[in-house]
Amino acid sequence: MANPWAGQVSVAIDGTPRECKLTLGALAELEAGLGTGSLVDLIRRFETGAFSSRDVMAVIVAGLRGGGWTGRSEDLISAEIEGGPVGAARIAATLLARAFALPT
């Protein structure tokens, strides 16, 4: 079970629950994979609804890798993510929000 206080998010891929987390290493890999722009640009796209499916996939892959998954984005091409594209976008947005939330 994901611990939101630790920045974790659960995602079911092909019916198998996995824990995701945007660790510093996963964020660095995500930023390098974006090619252009920064994480701030990516967050801005999510905040304004101007994100792409590529953005969603990149965030989910980074979160999975931060959670210990050793796969590649190509491994998810035919995978079923619970909730479909909308669910995947929600998961990606939640990962970003939890990674950058200030402690209360």
Indicate whether 65 belongs to any domain. yes
Nearest alpha-carbon partner for 91 in 19, 30, 24: 19
In total, how many domains does the chain have? 1
Q: Which residues contact 13 (CB under 8 A, 6 or more apart)?
A: 76, 79, 80, 81, 82
What are 46-56's pLDDT values in tens digits?
999 999 999 99
Indicate whether 104 belongs to any domain. no
Indicate whether 73 belongs to any domain. yes
Instruction: Give SS3 for 10.
Output: strand
Cβ 80 vs Cβ 13: under 8 Å: yes
What are 16-67's pLDDT values in tens digits?
999 999 999 999 999 888 877 789 999 999 999 999 999 999 999 999 999 9
Dist CA 43 CA 28 (whole Å): 14
The model carries a pTM of 0.92
Domain span holding position 34: 4-99
